[in-house]
């Protein structure tokens, strides 16, 4: 069963996150409506364990965009990770057409990489753990949104454009952000 105290702690932690708004969906404390304001005027490099983000600084194509998503907590939370579904369409290699985002912290099972044991260990390190805070999840989503990468993509075509034609990627992402 859900921990009501844990949820109250979650709402407390959110006051530390800039550019993120969260409110329960109607009276359901296990469905949260979230919005992230893509604010990259600050140069931030965040390192969580071994997970690094490169900062795009002011040329982020998502600047001034607000991206809405739902954060759903499963019945066996915190033993299983929440589900994140973006409602706002976004041109991003790490967010697919259905609105799912590719971040290791939202996975609770990592399959061994038969070719790279170090990669597997790193993934294990970054996957969901019951002590992971929801504010950490939101921070990582915000950083992933602000820092698109062609590595570990959900949308290979978009990742290929980012890798091979950054100008085209930036123009398309900016166009989608304006919509």
State the catalytic residues: 102
- β-pairing, 28-37 with 47-48? unpaired
Q: Which residue has the tokens 């990742």?
A: 159
* Dmax (CA) of the chain: 48
User: Measured in whole angstroms, how far is the alpha carbon of residue 138 from the centre of its chain?
Assistant: 6
How large is the angle between the packed helices 4-13 and 134-146, nearest 10 degrees?
40
CA dihedral 75, 77, 79, 82 (to 10 degrees): 110
Positive or negative: CA dihedral 140, 146, 149, 153: positive
């Amino acid at each position: 069963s859900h921990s009501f105290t844990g949820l109250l702690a979650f709402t407390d932690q959110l006051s530390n996150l800039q550019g993120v708004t969260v409110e329960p969906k109607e009276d359901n404390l296990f469905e949260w409506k979230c919005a992230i304001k893509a604010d990259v005027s600050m140069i931030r490099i965040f390192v969580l364990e071994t997970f690094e983000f490169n900062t795009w600084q002011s040329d982020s194509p998502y600047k001034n965009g607000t991206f809405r998503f739902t954060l759903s907590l499963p019945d066996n939370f915190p033993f299983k990770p929440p589900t994140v579904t973006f409602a706002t369409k976004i041109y991003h290699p790490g967010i697919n057409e259905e609105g799912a985002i590719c971040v290791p912290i939202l996975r609770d099972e990592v399959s061994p990489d038969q070719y790279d044991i170090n990669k597997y260990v790193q993934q294990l390190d970054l996957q969901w753990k019951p002590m992971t805070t929801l504010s950490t999840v939101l921070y990582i989503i915000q950083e992933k949104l602000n820092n698109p990468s062609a590595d570990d993509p959900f949308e290979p075509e978009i990742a290929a454009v980012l890798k091979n034609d950054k100008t085209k990627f930036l123009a398309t992402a900016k166009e989608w952000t304006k919509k």
